Amino acid sequence: MSDGRTGQAGRAGCVCLPLALTVLIASFDVRAADNARQIVEEAQKRTDAKSQRYEGLLQVFDAKGKISDKRWSFERLGSHGQSKAVLRFTAPAEVKGVALLVVNHPDRASDQWMWTPAIERDRRIALQDRSTRFFGTDFSFEDLEERDVDQYDYTLLADETVDGAACWRIQSTPRQTKSSQYTRSIVWIRKDTYALARIENYSKDDVVRRLNYADIRSVQGIWTARQLEMTDVKRGSRTRLTLDKLEYNVALKDEDFTLQAIRRQ
Amino acid sequence: MTGARGWKGGKGTTRSVASLSAAAVLCSLALVDAQTLTQRGFADGSIFVFPQQAPNDLTRVVGDLLLRDEVFVKPAPWLQFAAGIDLRANSHDQVEDAWRIDLADRSILRPRAAVRRLSATFTRGPLTIDAGKQFIRWGKTDIVTPTDRFAPRDFLNVVDTELLPVSGVRGAVQAGAETFEGVWLPRFTPSRLPLFTQRWTAVPADAASVPLVDAGGALPDGSQAGVRWAHVGAGFEYSLSFFDGFNYLPNIDVDVRPAPLRVELTRSYPAIRTYGADAAVPTRWFTVKGEAAYFTSSSAAADEYVLYVVQLERQTGEWVIVGGYAGEAVTTRRSTLVFAPDRGLTRSIVARASYTIDPTQSIAFEGAVRQNADGVYAKAEYSQARGQHWRTTISGVAIGGRADDFLGQYRRNSHLKASLRYSF
């Protein structure tokens, strides 16, 4: 059992949204988790929340160790494949107000629009552009999606230890109906908490991005990773996202997650 | 050669600029009690160096200073106020001498202090109403925007323009995948033209001695209105729009006056109606964007024509690439002299590419070539951020071509630009 301070949390299979996914520790019959899909379903179930809000600090470390900081505020309404999210930069000053609207779907990739106040315009992020880096970070646009468990097939590969915690090692492969830059992902899910510990995303046979989860704390009964670190393996750069002022089940309205809403500063 | 003249206003200007900005922010803060307040702004200093003299403008170095501050206050979830101000100084008489707060954006010179934004936004369910001075953008393309009829621009530098705000009411209802939008502007805002006495008004060398005199503009009194329906589909989107108002780009009436010989230029803004459509469709390799508008006019001095653009976009790796073709088909030709950069850029291939070197550095390239090769424009830019606030940008613009081509007429205006921005 996790002590609630250490351990990992994160994305279930390639059930994405590393920024929002959390894991609830509860008594769970391990026998029910005999196969990979059940494990992932349980991990997803434990992260259900009506809404979520946090302030994030993004620290980008390039291969030479140079750091640049960005901050954003994040609000999400709904969970998993039914959710909508708005992410708005609050720092540095020159990107203040830039916003991304993500509308997730249970059966396909999300729709995404970016609002750029300097030109007073929104722009749809096309599916073929989702593999590019999001605003100079090591997260791609696709990594900001939250996808449903049903969009992947799962295979239980092995039992392994990550940061001292026993984990299931599961392979998730996107179904043909879904478009993804990743051909498959390897996911480590902790056996004690069903929290995600690590994800490695592959393009063909190579790991292209690795996501580690750390600093798990209980927030309103939901165990949440407070620090996520994405590494771009080819570039050698990494981006650390630290979550602050995290709240669940806050009062958010559907009309705050529209193209009209992201125009408002 | 004439170098840059001193900044207008000197120390007094600097103090006043700082005081005004601080006052605006403090006033906003004082009104806010535990409400949501956001602010953004920057101070930007730029120097333009033109290697060539223009026949009508001997100045080759121009300095420009802009201080911009915008504040957004949300006292209730359904209500937001926005206010913004621009404060300017310029070494080449591009800014008015008088200290006044300009609301209308109708002046020939840039105002010393201009209200950039002053609006209230009301939200109730799917309904959003913006009232006041604001920015309204229509359309999807970038290289030419035929349906963007509520977006006049500042053309004092024709290849480095900036949007001007408009005053009016915008209402939008978003119902699922459909958005219905209506706009009403009681007061017309024209684009700001190149100054007739400066290099961005191109004159032949043998006519440079004849003074061009701005005889003013006949600004229309009527209101403008438009409606737009936009549909967002799974992976694609499109919209249809209708505009009834005035062209923010003028017809120019030329009157040659003897004794002393001079040319008087009068601006008029013809009534137009436009019927527009735009669409964005992602394909496997590119996002294809298209935008077109049919311009009709009841004026005897305005052309009727179709303006269209097809644009391809792609982000790959660290590259963002945009390229396209803009075209025009004139159905009825009436006018003689117009200032119309949107039409001037038609029959052109336009491309833009930017590359992010690392989180702090980027480069960008931009180019336009007329299909008959009579005009060419190319720009390269390097930009670097320092810390959380500073950004340095250096760019070079090369323009070439024939004197009778829209781009080619500015062939003496190739320039270098260096700017330093502090964002806060």
Q: Is the pLDDT of residue B161 over 90?
A: yes
Distance CA A88, CA A96 (A): 8
Q: Please tell me if residue B298 touches chain A, with a CB cutoff of 8 Å.
A: no
Q: Please tell me if residue A250 touches chain B, with a CB cutoff of 8 Å.
A: no
Closest by CA to B137, choosing from B87, B113, B172, B109, is B172
Q: Which sequence spans correspond to the domains of chain B?
A: 125-303
Tell me: the pLDDT tens digits for B284-311?
Answer: 889 999 999 999 999 998 999 999 999 9
pLDDT at B208: 80
pLDDT at A186: 96
Instruction: Kindly write down the DSSP assignment for every residue of A114-135, as one continuous string.
Output: EEETTTTEEEE--GGGTTSBST
pLDDT at B35: 60
pLDDT at A27: 35
Main-chain dihedrals φ then ψ at residue A194, nearest 5 degrees: 60, 25
Does the distance separating the beta carbons of A92 and B385 come in below 8 Å?
A: yes
Distance CA A94, CA B421 (A): 9
Q: Which CA distances in Å does A103 have to A108, A128, B62? A: 11, 17, 47
Does the distance separating the beta carbons of B388 and A92 come in below 8 Å?
A: yes
Tell me: the pLDDT tens digits for B356-406?
Answer: 888 789 999 999 999 888 999 999 999 999 988 999 999 999 999 999 999
Closest CA–CA distance from residue A25 to any residue of chain B (Å): 34
Closest CA–CA distance from residue B126 to any residue of chain A (Å): 6
Contact yes or no for B151/B137 (Cβ under 8 A): yes
What's the ipTM? 0.85
**Confidence class for position B5, pLDDT limits 50, 70, 90:** very low
Residue of A nearest to B288 (CA): A126
Q: What percent of chain B has pLDDT over 90?
A: 75
Say if pTM beats, i.e. exceeds, 0.95.
Answer: no
pLDDT at A264: 82
Which residues does chain B have within 8 Å of residue A120's beta carbon, measured at their own beta carbons?
Answer: 135, 137, 163
pLDDT at B62: 97
Instruction: Kindly write down the DSSP assignment for every residue of B14-61, as one continuous string.
Output: HHHHHHHHHHHHHHHHHH-SS-EEEEEEEEEEEEEE-SS-BTTB-B-E
Distance CA B195, CA B235 (A): 44
Does the distance separating the beta carbons of A111 and B423 come in below 8 Å?
A: no
Which residues does chain A have within 8 Å of residue B123's beta carbon, measured at their own beta carbons?
Answer: 255, 260-261, 264
Q: Is the peptide bond before B250 cis (omega within 30 degrees of 0)?
A: no
Instruction: Kindly write down the DSSP assignment for every residue of B232-268, as one continuous string.
Output: E-SS-EEEEEEEEEE-SS-EEEEEEETTTTEEEEEEE
Distance CA A103, CA B371 (A): 41
Contact yes or no for A18/A10 (Cβ under 8 A): yes
pLDDT at B14: 37
Distance CA A155, CA A21 (A): 21
pLDDT at A177: 56
Stretches in chain A below the pLDDT threshold 70: 1-34, 176-178
Which has more pLDDT, B212 or A101? A101
Give the residue-averaged pLDDT of B93-114: 95
pLDDT mean across residues, chain A: 83
Does the distance separating the beta carbons of B316 and A94 come in below 8 Å?
A: no
Which residues does chain B have within 8 Å of residue A260's beta carbon, measured at their own beta carbons?
Answer: 123, 128, 172, 174, 179
Q: Is the pLDDT of residue B29 over 80?
A: no
Best residue in B117, B278, B358 to probe A by mutation, most A CBs within 10 Å? B358
Distance CA B118, CA B101 (A): 13
pLDDT at A6: 31
Which has more pLDDT, B286 or B31? B286
pLDDT at A235: 87
Tell me: the pLDDT tens digits for A226-250?
Answer: 999 999 998 899 999 999 999 999 9
Main-chain dihedrals φ then ψ at residue A39, nearest 5 degrees: -60, -45
**Confidence class for position B151, pLDDT limits 50, 70, 90:** very high
pLDDT at A176: 66
Q: Please tell me if residue B145 touches chain A, with a CB cutoff of 8 Å.
A: no
Q: Is the pLDDT of residue B28 over 60?
A: no
Q: Please tell me if residue B179 touches chain A, with a CB cutoff of 8 Å.
A: yes
pLDDT at B327: 95
Does the distance separating the beta carbons of B232 and A111 come in below 8 Å?
A: yes
A30-263 CATH, one of 2.40.390.10, 2.50.20.10, 3.30.565.10, 1.20.120.530: 2.50.20.10
Lowest mean pLDDT among A67-81, B29-43, B88-102, B382-396: B29-43
Question: Which residue in the set A117, A132, A259 is minimally distant from B174, CB to CB?
Answer: A259
Residue of B nearest to A70 (CA): B388
Which residues does chain B have within 8 Å of residue A127's beta carbon, measured at their own beta carbons?
Answer: 235, 282
Cβ contacts of A3-6, under 8 Å, gap ≥ 24:
A4/A216, A4/A217, A4/A218, A4/A223, A5/A215, A5/A216, A5/A217, A6/A163, A6/A164, A6/A214, A6/A215, A6/A216
Q: Amino acid identity, residue B334?
A: R
List the strands of the sheet with B262-268, edge to edge. B212-218, B262-268, B251-257
pLDDT mean across residues, chain B: 89
Does the distance separating the beta carbons of B126 and A255 come in below 8 Å?
A: yes
Counting beta carbons within 10 angstroms of the beta carbon of residue A38, is it exposed (0 to 12), middle (13 to 18) or buried (19 or more)?
A: middle
Q: Please tell me if residue A183 touches chain B, with a CB cutoff of 8 Å.
A: no
- Contacting B residues, span 53-112, partner chain A, CB-CB under 8 Å: 70, 72, 74, 77, 80, 82
pLDDT at B322: 96
